[in-house]
A and B are shown apart, each in its own frame.
Chain A
Amino acid sequence: MRHIIIGAGPSGVVAAETLRKADPAAEIYLIGDEPEPPYSRMAIPYFLVKKVTEEGTYLRNASHYAEQEIAYISQHVSSVDTQAKQLGLADGSSLPYDKLLIATGSYPVAPPIPGIDLPNVHSCWTLEDARQIASLAHEGANVVLMGAGFIGCIILESLKMRGVNLSVVEMGDRMVPRMMDEKAGGLLKKWCIEKGVNVLTSTKITAITEVGDEDGSGMSVALDNGDSLPADLVITATGVKSNIAFLEGSGIETKDGIVVDDYLQTSVADVYASGDVAQGKDLSTGEYHVQAIQPTAVDHGRIAALNMAGKQVKHHGNINMNVLDTLGLISHSFGLWMGVDGGDSVEIYNPDLYKYLNLRFGVDDQADILVGASTLGMTQHIGVIRGLIESKTHLKDWKAHLMQDPTRIMEAYLASTQVLDNIV
């Protein structure tokens, strides 16, 4: 049996390891198309501030793949022939498979504005991007970050710590609009401004032009409000799209990402998909879409691999969740953080202390079930929010307690689960 995994991010690596456990005799190939050992994009911000070296971003140590008898191939896959069950590689060779996992993740997209292709305009996605940014984002440099979404905010801190003059331009009406409501996003903006970042929301970049000052590196970034910003470096963090172009003609059904069933199998037998490229099930809504988050990617990788090994394991869905550290202000969002129609919610909002907590409950027979939450300035026992949402635990009396004091989420969990069985 030969398993091939395309994509050497967290989902692909976890899948390879799971396959090795579940199918000890199988041949396992892991294919990545970047000129590095498998690494974590999540670690790039920490590489940028020299908290870790390049090696510190690697998903596993160097000898791991050989020890696990996982053959790592550094190649670009240019096509998939699902009839002949083989891959076409960029060097012209082909590689047959019995079971295939597509875990090719996503790539950054930038808006088609004039100047977006200038040499000092970069995305912050790969290790190579990070090296380029590290060479340009020196102390005192003018840096414009395009987009204050999740990725923008994650690299914001590294840029600030490098001592650059930083401006952030976001076209939405607040920071991280897809993970934070007005209150949390508003507090985050205030926080960043107080830390010396120039934050512009409801603002679009319309063009980037070279102005050719003495050192030749200068650019001018034009905004839709008529102003302009000087820039030595522009970083685009304006969203990502699934890597599915190479599947054209393969017969594998795609929409935003690859369409999968509850076993993470694609529309073609023996072909599976996982991670940022797969439209897996969202546990909160029952709908299928790309979540593009690390915990989902590794859960997918594991479940897809077990199914490839013939174990018939159903994927029940993942909730969407995120954690973000923006210049030391930590925020989270879980599940249906924006709430559901008719569902109760409770919040604590203390702008002076930069604290925010909002819990969202379901409706009808789910009225005492936590369905979503967002937080700002909290770090303790945060994972229990995931546990309560995913397990759909009926909180009973504890819902009323939480409506009084939402910070007691850990107590609500303990009182509502098995741990206190023997005392109540």
Chain B
Amino acid sequence: MQKSLHLDPAKCTGCLQCELACSYEKLGEFNPSRSLIRVFTFHFEGRFAPYTCTQCDEAWCQRACPVDAITMDLATGAKVVNDDKCVGCKVCTISCPFGTVNYVQETGKVAKCDLCGGDPECAKSCPTGAITFIDANLTGYERMQAYAEKSLPSAEASA
């Protein structure tokens, strides 16, 4: 059964442990500025929202890549950046309408969530259950994706 990240802003306290866990897993250092999941702050409502890639089916980033550097991990469904192929042209960063592929100046390549190969550290580190990794059918991701895709004209026509 395919699993996906379920993000529940209502449960997020803004503790940023997910950002620490993500950066530690990916870089071996605590560097939230390079975390692939980010917690956004809403001062006006006193709320927080964790957000990262939703691993779209027809992924804009993947299609826009001119050198086939973004491919799907068949085991997890994650869209993964292959560092040895990425030339750093950044076209995927403007193509992703959710803003979840970022260029990293230090590496000269782009980075995005790859679900940690099927065992995402952000979910494991979240103390309040705001980030969970569960059966894809239950996450509401489909609903989110459907909403987003409906609102984006260039998304019509999933083959």
Contacts and interface: CB of A to CB of B under 8 A. Distances in A.
Interface of A: 10, 14, 18, 21-22, 40, 42-43, 46, 51-52, 56-61, 283, 294-295, 298-299, 302-303, 306, 311, 313-314, 316-318, 321-323, 325, 328, 330, 332, 334, 379-387, 390-393, 401, 409-411, 413-415, 417-420, 422-424
Given A316-B153, A419-B9, A423-B9, A334 B159 contact: no
B25 interface: no
A42 B89 contact: yes
Interface stretch (B16-24, B73-81, B96-104, B115-123): B96-104
Leading 5 A-B pairs by shortest Cβ distance: A384-B99, A387-B97, A316-B153, A381-B99, A40-B66
A298 B63 contact: yes
B97 A386 contact: yes
A318 B64 CA distance: 13
B51 A56 contact: no
Contact of B157 (A302, A322, A393, A419): A302
A320 B61 CA distance: 16
Given A295-B94, A418-B148, A419-B7, A60 B66 contact: no
A411 B153 CA distance: 22
Contacts of A379: 90, 93, 102-105
A57 B93 contact: no
B127 to A, nearest CB: 18
A386 B97 CA distance: 5
Contacts of B97: 383-384, 386-387, 390-391
B105 A414 contact: no
Interface in B109-159: 143-144, 147-148, 151-154, 156-157, 159
A386 B100 CA distance: 12
Given A302-B63, A410-B40, A295 B95 contact: yes
A414 to B, nearest CB: 5
- Give the interface SS of chain B, mostly helix, strand, loop or mixed: mixed
Contacts of A328: 105
Interface string B21-49: 00000000000000000101110110101
A299 B40 contact: no
Contact of B154 (A58, A318, A413, A420): A318
A381 B90 CA distance: 12
B14 interface: no
B145 to A, nearest CB: 9
A303 B103 CA distance: 28
28 contacts: A40-B66, A42-B67, A43-B67, A56-B85, A58-B67, A295-B94, A298-B64, A302-B157, A302-B159, A313-B156, A316-B153, A316-B154, A321-B94, A323-B90, A330-B103, A379-B103, A380-B102, A381-B100, A383-B95, A383-B97, A384-B97, A384-B98, A386-B97, A387-B96, A417-B147, A419-B9, A422-B9, A424-B45
B87 interface: yes
Contacts of B153: 283, 316-317, 390
Contact of A22 (B47, B148, B159): B159
B15 interface: no
Nearest to A321: B94
Contact of B98 (A10, A14, A383, A422): A383
A52 B87 contact: yes
